[in-house]
Structures are given as structure tokens and as C-alpha cells.
């Protein structure tokens, strides 16, 4: 059997490739635009190098260097994400192929099947038979395939490196303190010849391993990310069965894709769209015309598409501004309990792919939250804020409306962002806690900083005047 043909030509493999292309098309196009921008900037510098003023040339070269670094960072993250998703998709295809191979072996009473050989007579090569059997059969979702797994199976799925026995059986992940017969610390230690266990590895063994080390049977350079992926293999992504709970209210005009789970008491309005493999836990409300992508996890109490805070002063009375936009949520988004996302006034409020929102977050109308941005609990985002990709927003932070935050910005907890941010980095505006007496003195100083600055400037003028007179 030729496994290479199966992962290249089988129907599930081809469907997986199309999913990957669709999932990453937008990011690929964005990278292309940045590459074109770099090329234009480089051409300008080279063309006008002799006639351009020195200050302008330095500014353009600095802009080129900054844009080049940003492009390289985005390109690196893009490649990592593509490779990770490809490993996941192909791992599921291989798992499906292995199940079919076992079925063929049992039905035709084969003693052994070789996955690769220098040559195989077509008469005994079952590759075509496996590919045909895989037609119309999608790989099982992660929820349907809990452990145990061998290290070899984990490496096939996630692309990790094996340092040890590939057939070591893994039943579950867990902490050292709470390990038991069916729960192992991260990975189980290798069994000895007498059936006893070697000393349990420390959690730090998740990090990169030296090539001669045999303390731990599996390792990866991306420690935390690999741990998350491995844990997902053994634990369901969601805890709610597929289907619509009898108490849920789903409008006739709502469209639900395959393998969607709608919990008790959920309300889905007319024109709502829910992507495949998405899960809405009990009590979620999605107003009419809102769209949620594939593999979303929406926790209890979330409200998507309520009217934004649009009002106008009419002679001392507030007049409501109709909110006629919707909410568009991308793929692989998770939204925590009791978070609210308001619909747009004219255009949609947009939550892009891979965004992770914690509990009790407010997203105002017309906002955009860029791909793979994460927000901790109790963040407040006012209307029309535009937040870039790969940002992190700490708990309790406030982002005022009608401002822009570029990609790769990290906002510390309890920070108020009152102006646009155009340079990646970490931003903190928290006044640290202190004992009350010291805090009161420091606060008094802060209140008078403007007056102190004026006095310093006045003293500097007088000092400069005296120095000029003495000269």
C-alpha cells in the first residue's frame, strides 16, 4: 500500500486541501499585498537614491526596514499555521485510511500489510481499494476519536519528533500531582521490563530534547502549543452532542451546516448562518442576519447582534439610530460566557478567524477584531474601534471608539487606550497599587504634573536668559 498516494489522491485528502486553501486564502492575499508594497518601496529608493534628500532617503529606508520585519513576521506565522493545520488534516486522513486498512485486512484475512515497499505487484497492492473505500467518508472529527494513541500516531497527527519507543501508548495528559492509573503526567514514563514505571518526568521535559536523552519519549520545540494539540486529541473539543436541543428556538430561515450543536434555550433569528462543527452552549442568542463561521465555540449567555449604542441628541431627547448592519464571525472563533457583540449601524461588526474572547467582554458596533487576536475577561471595546491581527488585550482594558490598533500590539490589563496605536509593541497605562497613604501622595503629584511642567519650563527660560546675559 502506498500511503503517499492516499494522502495525495484520496477524496478526503483532496477535500482537506480545498479547506486549507479556502482557510488561508485571505492571509495569502494579504501577504501578497505587503510583498508588492515592499517591492514598490524598494524601487522608489533605488530609482531616486541619487536625487533624494538625505533625510527623505533615511525615512524611506527606515520605513522599508520596518515593513520588511513585519512581512517576515507575518510570513513566518503564516507558514507555521499552514504546516500545523496541514498536519492536523492529513493526520485525520491517515487515521481514516488506517481504519479502512484494518477492515480490509480483517475481511480478506491478510496477516500483514506493508505501507511502503520498493516494488509491489499491482495484483497485491491495495492502494486503489483503500482510496475507493475512502470516497464519501470524511475523516472523523476530533470529538469522535479520543485516545489512547501511540506516540507514532501523535507524531503523524501533529508533526512532533519522537525520541523513544514509537509504540508507547498514551491514554491521557495530566499533572504530576494528580496522575493515576489511567492518567499520565503529560506523557507516561516508559515502562520497564518488569512492568514498573520509571520515575515520572518533570513538566519541563516538554521542552526541546538533546538527541542523546531518553528520559522522555516525546518532545517538541513548540512546547505549550504541542501540549494543547495533544490534549485536544484525548479530550473532546466541546462537551455537547451534535444536534438541536428540543428547547432551542431556531428560525425557519436560519441555515445550519453539518455537525452543528445547539444547546438548550438557544435562540437563532431569521437569516442566521452557523458553520460546520460549531457549538453553541445553552442560552446563546444570535439575532437575525448574523453569521458565525466553522468550528466556533460560543459559551452560555453570549448575545450576538443586539443593537449597538446608536443614539442622537434631538433637542434634549435621545433618538435611536437604527442598527441595520449585522455581525460576521470567522472560523475557529471562541467566545466566552456572557460576552456581547453588537451589530453594526450600517456595516457589519467583524470578528475575524481565530479570535479568542474571554468572558464578559463588550464589543461595540462597527468594530473589527483582527485574526487571531485574544482578549481576556471584562475588556470593553467602544464602537468603530479597529483592532489588528495577533493582538492581546489584558483583562479589564478599555479601548475607546473610532481608533485603530495595528497588528501585534499587546495591551496590559486595566489599560485605557485613548488614541490610535501604529507601532507594534506592549502598551501599559495601569497606575500600580500601593498602601493608601503612599497612593494618595503619588496621586496628588500626578494631578499637578501639568503645573510642575510649566514651572520647570519657566525656570529653564530664566536660566537660559541669565546664561545669555553673562555671555
DSSP assignments along 220-264, one per residue: -SSHHHHHHHHHHHHS-S-SS-SEE-TT-EE-TT-EE-TT-EE-T
Query: Interhelix angle for 54-108 vs 151-158, to 10°?
Result: 140
Confidence at residue 116, expressed as pLDDT on a 0 to 100 scale: 67
Confidence at residue 167, expressed as pLDDT on a 0 to 100 scale: 80
Q: Cite the active site residues.
A: 365
Confidence at residue 139, expressed as pLDDT on a 0 to 100 scale: 57
Mean pLDDT of 225-229: 74
Confidence at residue 115, expressed as pLDDT on a 0 to 100 scale: 67
Tell me how far apart the alpha carbons of residues 350 and 343 are, in angstroms, rounded to a whole number: 9
3-class state of residue 455 by DSSP: helix
Tell me how far apart the alpha carbons of residues 228 and 186 are, in angstroms, rounded to a whole number: 11
pLDDT at residue 220 greater than cutoff 70: no
261-285 residue pLDDT tens: 999 999 999 999 999 999 999 999 9
For residues 226 and 220, is the Cβ–Cβ distance under 8 A?
Answer: yes
Q: Write down the pTM of the prediction.
A: 0.67
Residues in Cβ contact with 188 at an 8 Å cutoff, skipping those fewer than 6 apart: 168, 169, 170, 171, 197
Q: What is the DSSP-derived secondary structure letter of residue 209? A: -
132-162 residue pLDDT tens: 888 866 655 544 556 677 877 777 667 666 7
Q: Tell me, which fold does domain 302-427 have in CATH?
A: UDP N-Acetylglucosamine Acyltransferase; domain 1 (2.160.10)
Pairing of strands 169-170, 149-150: antiparallel
Query: Which stretches within 48-150 are classed as H helix?
Result: 54-108, 127-133
Confidence at residue 178, expressed as pLDDT on a 0 to 100 scale: 59
> Which of 160-164, 307-311, 336-340, 341-345 is predicted least confidently?
160-164
342-393 residue pLDDT tens: 999 999 999 999 999 999 999 999 999 999 999 999 999 999 999 999 999 9
For residue 177, what pLDDT band results from cuts at 50, 70 and 90? Answer: low
pLDDT at residue 435 greater than cutoff 60: yes
Highest mean pLDDT range out of 70-84, 234-248, 364-378, 436-450? 364-378
Domain ranges of the chain: 3-133, 142-190+200-234, 302-427, 436-470
Tell me how far apart the alpha carbons of residues 105 and 174 are, in angstroms, rounded to a whole number: 35
Does 107 or 414 have the greater pLDDT score? Answer: 414
Amino acid at each position: 500500500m502506498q500511503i503517499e498516494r492516499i494522502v495525495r489522491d484520496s477524496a478526503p485528502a483532496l477535500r482537506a486541501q480545498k479547506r486549507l486553501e479556502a482557510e488561508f486564502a485571505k492571509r495569502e492575499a494579504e501577504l501578497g499585498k505587503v510583498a508588492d508594497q515592499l517591492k514598490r518601496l524598494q524601487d522608489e529608493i533605488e530609482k531616486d537614491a541619487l536625487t533624494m534628500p538625505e533625510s527623505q532617503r533615511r525615512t524611506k529606508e527606515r520605513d522599508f526596514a520596518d515593513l520588511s520585519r513585519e512581512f517576515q513576521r507575518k510570513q513566518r506565522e503564516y507558514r507555521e499555521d499552514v504546516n500545523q493545520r496541514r498536519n492536523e488534516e492529513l493526520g485525520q486522513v491517515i487515521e481514516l485510511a488506517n481504519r479502512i486498512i484494518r477492515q480490509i485486512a480483517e475481511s480478506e484475512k491478510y496477516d500483514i500489510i506493508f505501507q511502503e515497499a520498493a516494488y509491489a505487484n499491482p495484483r497485491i497492492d491495495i492502494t486503489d481499494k483503500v482510496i475507493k473505500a475512502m470516497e464519501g467518508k470524511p475523516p472523523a472529527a476530533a470529538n469522535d476519536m479520543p485516545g489512547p494513541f501511540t506516540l507514532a500516531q501523535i507524531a503523524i497527527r501533529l508533526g512532533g519528533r519522537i525520541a523513544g519507543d514509537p509504540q508507547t501508548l498514551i491514554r491521557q495528559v495530566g499533572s504530576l500531582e494528580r496522575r493515576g492509573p489511567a492518567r499520565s503526567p503529560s506523557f507516561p514514563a516508559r515502562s520497564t521490563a518488569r512492568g514498573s514505571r520509571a520515575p515520572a518526568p518533570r513538566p519541563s521535559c516538554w521542552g526541546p530534547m538533546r538527541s542523546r536523552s531518553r528520559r522522555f519519549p516525546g518532545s517538541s520545540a513548540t512546547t505549550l502549543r504541542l501540549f494543547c494539540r495533544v490534549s485536544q486529541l484525548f479530550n473532546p473539543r466541546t462537551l455537547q452532542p451534535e444536534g438541536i436541543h428540543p428547547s432551542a428556538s431556531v428560525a425557519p430561515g436560519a441555515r445550519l451546516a453539518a455537525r452543528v450543536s445547539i444547546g438548550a434555550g438557544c435562540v437563532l433569528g431569521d437569516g442566521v448562518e452557523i458553520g460546520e462543527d460549531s457549538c453553541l452552549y445553552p442560552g446563546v442568542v444570535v439575532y437575525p442576519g448574523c453569521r458565525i463561521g466553522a468550528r466556533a465555540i460560543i459559551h452560555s449567555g453570549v448575545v450576538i447582534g443586539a443593537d449597538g449604542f446608536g443614539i442622537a441628541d434631538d433637542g434634549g431627547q435621545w433618538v435611536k439610530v437604527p442598527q441595520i448592519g449585522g455581525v460576521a464571525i470567522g472560523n475557529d472563533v471562541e467566545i466566552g460566557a456572557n460576552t456581547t457583540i453588537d451589530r453594526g449601524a450600517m456595516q457589519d461588526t467583524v470578528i475575524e478567524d481565530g479570535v479568542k474572547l474571554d468572558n464578559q467582554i463588550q464589543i461595540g458596533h462597527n468594530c473589527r477584531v483582527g485574526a487571531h487576536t485574544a482578549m481576556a475577561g471584562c475588556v470593553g471595546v467602544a464602537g468603530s474601534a479597529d483592532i489588528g491581527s495577533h493582538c492581546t488585550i489584558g483583562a479589564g482594558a478599555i479601548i475607546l471608539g473610532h481608533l485603530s490598533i495595528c497588528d501585534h500590539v499587546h495591551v496590559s490589563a486595566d489599560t485605557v487606550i485613548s488614541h490610535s496605536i501604529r507601532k507594534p509593541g506592549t502598551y501599559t497605562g495601569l497606575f500600580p497599587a500601593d498602601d493608601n497613604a503612599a497612593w494618595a501622595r503619588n496621586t496628588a503629584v500626578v494631578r499637578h504634573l501639568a503645573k510642575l511642567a510649566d514651572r520647570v519650563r519657566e525656570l529653564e527660560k530664566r536660566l537660559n536668559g541669565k546664561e545669555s546675559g553673562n555671555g
